[in-house]
Amino acid sequence: MKYISTRGGMEPAPYSAVLLEGLATDGGLVVPETVPEVGAAQIEAWRELDYASLATEILSLYATDIPREDLERMCRAAYSPENFLAEEVVPLTPIGEANGAPLSVVGLSEGPTLAFKDMAMQFLGQALEHVLAKTDRTLNIVGATSGDTGSAAEYALRGKDGIAVFMLSPQGRMSAFQRAQMYSLTDENIHNIAVEGVFDDCQNLMKALFEDLEFKRANHLGAVNSVNLGRVSAQIVYYFWAWLRATDALSEQDRATAKVSFTVPSGNFGNILSGHFARAMGLPIHRLVLATNENNVLDEFFRTGVYKPRGAAETYATSSPSMDISKASNLERFVFDLLGRDPERLAATWGELAAEGQIDLSAELPRFEREFGIVSGTSSHADRVATIRSVHETSGAVIDPHTADGVKAAREYAEAGVPMLVLETAKPAKFPEIVVEAIGETEPLPEHLAELLDLPQRVVEMPDDAAALREYVAARALKP
């Protein structure tokens, strides 16, 4: 398996190499030359596997240059009982019905930072350390977070040999718990930088450093944001896992024709992109429902075909802050497929986006659902409060505000006889204010995190200035 750039300017490279690069060398995003296909018989043969074994099987289709025994060891370490609270790693919780369809939440928040980002980041931490050890290299991770990516990356990479992390976050835009998770870490290889602005400003700073190829090479920069193909590939696993668990009770005959829909709270389009890949591989996904909050640029795109990112002043601070994003990096990978995997068309389209501030792909709009199964919805703060309350009243379950965005959209698109699975974003205890507003109480934090908010915090504040960031990173980057 080799990987290429959406913009056509990178020589095909193996999985291990693209793990270290993040962005492609031409500024595009890395994608597989061809998506591996699996048939119904193969999917069925995976039904009895535990999560780590299923991860080994699926990731072996992508990481073909990593010996299988090493890949299995990494998956066992990533999805160990020490890292994940639930025995099954990803439990499914029924939360009622909508339009005659059973609704369930796919529990992706059992990891060390109580957010779905742990599912991919724990594997990526193992994989990066393995590749660096094999190549005797160092890696300086520069990332941007709207809330959960940063802590998941830092917990996965803290203390790892040959790796330093420089994580950009927007000042005052994350919950108190999200800030505490990141800023309380004291590991010498972790550097937290709070930027004046919104998440998109952080992401633009990150991209500015990566697009400066001389600086990138001199300082051995790498990425763990959802632009990193390693994260996208690891997230594919839980789509297969959830589909298998949702169809466990069916007869063997019914399993062969069963379809399941997924709803995915979306900000940067990375999580739902993994579902897009799973569907392309052959997983029988009926619909992929993209759910947004008030920062609904992606919802507008999938409803109209016009993609028009917003500036910082038009990016709202909402009660589902991890989705307060108005420029979705991973959309480029979907548009690459939409444009027939033609790098020249993609490069021209992204050039138009840079010049005009928007692109109009409305001529392709009928294909969004017909060919790719993607539809979308949006919600407001009032919707989130009402959804958290109704889920709790119906099932006793408590969900976080991002997952509530998902449940609201899921109810709109649920179809009789087609199970609807909503991908959980995080534990509700990370967002106590809105949960208390909805149900009058909040879920307690796990015992091992109960004192987190009281720990001293370590963070550097910085203006939205690429030159200042370059200077900071260069002074602290690990050298070979």
- Residue 354, domain member (yes or no): yes
**Closest by Cα among 21, 3, 237, 225 to 117:** 225
Which residues pair with residue 194 across a beta bridge?
169, 461
Instruction: Considering the candidates 117, 160, 207, 327, report the single residue annotated as catalytic.
Output: 117
Q: What is the pLDDT of residue 24?
A: 86
Q: What is the pLDDT of residue 200?
A: 87
Q: How far is CA 69 from CA 20, 53, 339, in A?
A: 21, 11, 38
For residue 312, give its domain range: 88-113+235-439
**Closest by Cα among 409, 442, 404, 441 to 424:** 404
Q: What is the pLDDT of residue 173?
A: 86
Let me know: does 291 contact 229? Beta carbons within 8 Å: no
CA distance 216 to 223: 11
CA distance 420 to 287: 9
- Residue 11, domain member (yes or no): no
User: Is 134 part of the annotated catalytic residue set?
Assistant: no
Place of tokens 């835009």: 173
DSSP state of 479: -
Give pLDDT < 50 ranges for the chain.
none
> How many domains, in total, are found in the chain?
1
Let me know: does 473 contact 209? Beta carbons within 8 Å: yes
Let me know: does 272 contact 303? Beta carbons within 8 Å: no
- Residue 425, domain member (yes or no): yes
* CA angle in degrees (0–180, nearest 5) for 173-176-179: 75
Query: Judging by DSSP bridges, how do beta strands 190-195 and 3-5 pair with one another?
Result: unpaired
- Residue 78, domain member (yes or no): no
- Residue 361, domain member (yes or no): yes
The tens digit of pLDDT for each residue in 22-57 reads 778 888 999 999 999 999 999 999 999 999 999 999
- Residue 118, domain member (yes or no): no
3-state secondary structure of 455: coil
Q: What is the pLDDT of residue 137?
A: 85
Alpha helix segments (H runs only) across 6-91: 15-21, 40-45, 51-59, 68-78
CA distance 477 to 480: 10
- Residue 175, domain member (yes or no): no
The dihedrals phi and psi of 244, each to the nearest 5 degrees, come to -65, -45
- Residue 325, domain member (yes or no): yes
CATH number for the domain harbouring residue 408 = 3.40.50.1100
Q: What is the pLDDT of residue 470?
A: 97
Alpha helix segments (H runs only) across 396-426: 401-413
- For residue 96, give both structure tokens: 């009622």
Q: Which residues are CB-neighbours of 336 under 8 A, at least 6 positions away?
A: 6, 29, 31, 343, 346
**Closest by Cα among 432, 460, 16, 47 to 246:** 47
pTM score, two decimals?
0.92
Q: What residue type is assigned to position 255 of the chain?
A: R
3-state secondary structure of 85: coil
